[in-house]
Amino acid sequence: MPIGTINEAGVEGKTVLLRLDLNSPIDPTSSTILDDKRFREHVPTVQALAQSRVVILTHQSRPGKKDFTTLEAHAEKLAQLISRPVKYVDDIFGQCARESVRALKPGEVLMLENIRFNAEENLTLKPEEAAKTHLVKKISAMGDIFVNDAFGTAHRSQPTMVGLPMVMRSVAGLLMEKEVFTLSRVLQAAPRPVTFVLGGTKVDDSIEVAKHVLNDGIADRVIAIGVVANVFLLAMGYDIGKPSTQLISQLKYEPEVVKARELLKMFEDRILVPDWVAVREEGKRVEYPVSAIPGEMPVLDVGMDSIAAFSAELKNSGTVVFNGPAGVFEEKDFATGTYELLKSASRVEFSVVGGGHTAVVIEKMGIEKDFTHISTGGGACIEFLTGKKLPAVEALERSREIFG
């Protein structure tokens, strides 16, 4: 069952409860928002509801974190981006919130207080249980329709994400729709050959993705870079040096080495790992074959020969899914692998980036427009690519069955 969309929901003149993910880097001392990327991604959905009374439900961080704060600055930032006032109330479903919602006219936007200030929103619940929470009962009574645009939180089974669709007509916002459509295309109808580039430090997620896309014939090739590559090299019996081996131990990734070994047995010809790597030697970038990595030096990037080989592989691909950097991209000497491979990935017919650090690098390089899609949800994107149903997406599908 597909998810419903704004276009088919008839939202004009209605009071729309709009769930966004505006969780952003913040300066805890001044509450200044340091990066408004997530705000910008949601603007088209807010603009599409210009004839509705819009009530925004969103969150910032979570209890116990330094940046867990009120949303006054978020309302101001969104108002700047949509060129319309965004009212803010420091209430979630109390009398102040209810009266403010009732007073809304079509075209007006109201942002309620940080939804995670309510303890129930921090629980992980099944949709049926979430529907019974005070939070869902009280909030659903304030609106006519629920629009979920918070793809970055779609892997969380929290009351607003999975409970509201059980009690009221619910559809996807434009961002949620775009994410689900594009990532579904990766899994079902991507131009071939399909190459997944998996890097960074989240090795357990990357191994899960590799296993799913190779087992199900979704990917023709998987290229391992970053710490993911080091885990595969260990699984192949290479000595990757003391610092890199210790890092894998610190991250508790020894079980992933075993999983990598099993994947190599089944798909050795379809998993590509670097033949050359770069280390820091006397303050400079020096390259070694993987069979001769110095014992006391950490692996910090892919070597130039392997960058060239991987770039050629990407050039011949119809689809590239890129998640995670190739090395310590923050240092100029060790950013080469990440930058060059991203340039190659940006030139293919269908290119998808899994958000997170990779999206930051792309923005820095100024090549965002060269990619087909850059996901706004790192964790949600990865979970989607492992073949798991995201709780919020499943809830929207069920809502369509219940309410049409």
Q: Divide the 404 residues of the chain into consecutive groups of 10 and give the mean pLDDT of each group.
A: 90 97 90 92 98 98 94 97 98 98 98 98 98 98 98 97 98 97 95 97 95 97 98 98 96 97 97 98 95 96 98 98 95 96 98 88 93 92 93 98 92
**Contact present, 334 and 285 (Cβ < 8 Å):** yes
84/67 Cα distance (integer angstroms): 26
C-alpha pair distances (Å), 93 with each of 109, 142, 166, 276: 16, 8, 19, 58
158/5 Cα distance (integer angstroms): 21
Q: How many CA atoms lie within 13 A of 232 on its CB side?
A: 28
pLDDT of residue 377: 87
114/82 Cα distance (integer angstroms): 20
**Contact present, 142 and 15 (Cβ < 8 Å):** yes
Max CA separation in the chain (angstroms): 71
pLDDT of residue 89: 98
pLDDT of residue 214: 98
331/338 Cα distance (integer angstroms): 11
For the question of whether the overall pTM of this predicted structure is more than 0.85, the answer is: yes
Helix (H, G, I), strand (E, B) or coil at 299: strand
Count Cβ atoms below 10 Å from residue 237 Cβ, excluding itself: 7
Q: What angle do CA 360, 364, 365 make, to 5 degrees?
A: 115
Beta strands 319-323 and 32-33: pairing type? unpaired
Q: What angle do CA 10, 15, 19 make, to 5 degrees?
A: 95
Q: Can you say how many angstroms the Cα of residue 342 is from the centroid of all Cα atoms in its chain?
A: 17
Query: Nearest to residue 146, comparing CAs of 45, 40, 73?
Result: 45
288/264 Cα distance (integer angstroms): 23
Structure tokens at 199: 């890097």
pLDDT of residue 402: 96
CATH of 192-348, one of 3.40.50.2000, 3.30.56.10, 3.40.50.1260, 3.30.70.1060: 3.40.50.1260
Write the DSSP symbol of residue 50. T
Beta strands 32-33 and 26-27: pairing type? antiparallel
Structure tokens at 368: 């965002």
Amino acid at position 361, single letter: V
Tokens 């060239």 sit on residue: 308
116/69 Cα distance (integer angstroms): 10
**Contact present, 396 and 4 (Cβ < 8 Å):** yes
Q: What angle do CA 46, 368, 373 make, to 5 degrees?
A: 65
**Contact present, 117 and 90 (Cβ < 8 Å):** no
Query: Nearest to residue 73, comparing CAs of 27, 118, 17, 13?
Result: 27
401/148 Cα distance (integer angstroms): 16
Beta strands 373-374 and 350-353: pairing type? parallel
Q: Can you say how many angstroms the Cα of residue 45 is from the centroid of all Cα atoms in its chain?
A: 18
pLDDT of residue 28: 78
Write the DSSP symbol of residue 374. E
pLDDT of residue 360: 85
Write the DSSP symbol of residue 196. E
Q: Assign domain 6-179+390-403 to its CATH architecture.
A: 3-Layer(aba) Sandwich (3.40)
Q: Where in the chain is the domain with CATH 3.40.50.1260?
A: 6-179+390-403, 192-348
222/324 Cα distance (integer angstroms): 13
Structure tokens at 134: 């005070």
pLDDT of residue 30: 83
Q: Which helix (H) or strand (E) holds 99?
A: helix 95-102
